Amino acid sequence: MKNKFELLFITLGLLSLLGGLFFGVVASLQFVFPDFLQSIPFYKTRPLHVSLVVAWIFLASIGGIYYYIPSQFGIKLYSKTMSVLHFIVFLITGIVIIIAYLMGKFGGREYWEFPPILAIPIIISWLLFGWNYFKTAFKITSEWPVYMWMWATGILFFLFTFSEAYVWMLPKIKENVIKEIAMQWKAYGALVGSWNMLVYGTAIFLMEKIKNDKSIGKSKIAFLAYFLGLTNLMFGWAHHIYNVPTAQWIRYVAYIISMTELILLAKIIYNWKKSVQESLKDFHVLPFKFLVASDVWIFLNLTLALMLSVPIINVYTHGTHITVAHAMGSTIGINTMILLASCLFLIDNYIQSKYSKIELKLIKIGYYAFNISLLIFWSSLIIAGIIKGVGIVKNGKGFQEVMNDIQPVMSVFSISGILLFLSLLMILLPPLKKSIRFLFNK
């Protein structure tokens, strides 16, 4: 186990992704058909879906970081024992959280709906990870590439924002509804920025390895993207609290910072036009396909995010399915595509065995089916959000009336969710089979 811990993180992450999408499909069907699978009702399937998908992001990112740093820089990880302990704490805590949800034991907020006491082992696991990372990273004598800074930032800011997400437990915050909501939404907005650092750092690392070009991680545009992401992590969260009666200057600052992402959007469009022909040359490389897909989803979701950051539009969209579309576009379209690329790359390098022709064909069909299903899934949420926002804000309709209006769109949403899950199975079964065989046969 000690010599395979990176693969344990990756394998558990892939299983978490499958579990998260499974419960997501069940939750979407329950949304349309309230009597579906009442043994695990919606109030349980939703947090199961969210927690498992968040666990996937962390497990895949962490497993990659543990593997990539020693292999890239030719140094030993500070402590493999600490990494194994990290995995054990993560696994046990995850199992307890799932059991708590199934038993109906809650008590937390938003992403962390489990009993707050379980935040303690999560903090411990991240302290183990952080200590191991920095003790290893400080062995590197050369200039750090941008992904090392991104990973370091992601670890530190996760510890800060995760702790901040629990300030609602303090009496002075808990007694004030406005303060509690503002702090919750602020913490979760910044929290997403912290794990994005882990994911985007992984993306830049993969681009270096696939292109065999170490200048990518030290380029000016890479560090510009890092500082822009860091600025948004630290200050851009405030567009999440437009509807909370807070100070006006906070809203203005958030709006301006969110709009700075236009720089990144313009650069993405420019690079996309410039590199399409070059990208096609590498499209046969399996991880590269998923990085290309993530680039498309960055463009789509950033466009949506910029629209949501405009206050007058935010009035209509806040709390509607458009917000969910933004979250799904980020989590599945961007983060999952990047991390799937990382997992496929890592498993191939770790195990050094080729897929059969049938397995490769299965993954490629799943890749196209997954992206098409996700586009339908994402678009249906946006359409449902527009109908709901206009119905409530402009036409003054009641909640139930609006929910009846979006029912046909949500049926399309549920069907596309099922297709999304099935196509993911096609992608994941070959690498999971390879990984599990390696873990248990050697």
Q: At what angle do helices 42-73 and 5-32 cross, to 10 degrees?
A: 150
- pLDDT tens for each residue of the chain, 442 residues long: 556 889 999 999 999 999 999 999 998 888 778 788 888 898 999 999 999 999 999 999 999 999 999 999 999 999 999 999 999 999 999 999 999 999 999 988 777 889 999 999 999 999 999 999 999 999 998 899 999 999 999 999 999 999 988 988 888 888 888 788 778 777 887 888 899 899 999 999 998 888 778 888 888 888 888 888 888 787 766 666 666 676 777 767 776 776 666 566 556 556 655 655 565 566 667 888 898 888 888 888 888 877 777 777 777 777 778 888 888 888 898 899 999 999 999 999 888 888 889 999 999 999 999 999 999 999 999 998 888 888 877 777 777 788 888 888 988 999 999 999 999 999 999 999 999 999 887 5
Q: What is the pLDDT of residue 267?
A: 66
Q: Which residues share a beta bridge with 112?
A: 109
Question: How is 143-176 classified by DSSP, letter by letter?
Answer: PPPHHHHHHHHHHHHHHHHHHHTTGGGSHHHHT-
Pick from 369, 203, 363: nearest CA to 294: 203
Instruction: For residues 158 and 236, give the distance between their C-alpha atoms in angstroms, rounded to a whole number.
Output: 16
Residue 263: count of CB within 10 angstroms of its CB: 12
Q: Quick check: 438 and 351 in contact, CB under 8 A?
A: yes
Q: Quick check: 300 and 294 in contact, CB under 8 A?
A: no
Instruction: For residues 271 and 263, give the distance between their C-alpha atoms in angstroms, rounded to a whole number.
Output: 12
- Using a 10 angstrom Cβ sphere, with 0-12 exposed, 13-18 middle and 19 or more buried, the burial of residue 48 is buried
State phi, psi for 112 to the nearest 5 degrees. -110, 70
Question: How is 167-180 classified by DSSP, letter by letter?
Answer: GGGSHHHHT-HHHH
Instruction: For residues 198 and 64, give the distance between their C-alpha atoms in angstroms, rounded to a whole number.
Output: 10
Q: What is the pLDDT of residue 302?
A: 80
Instruction: For residues 20 and 23, give the distance between their C-alpha atoms in angstroms, rounded to a whole number.
Output: 5
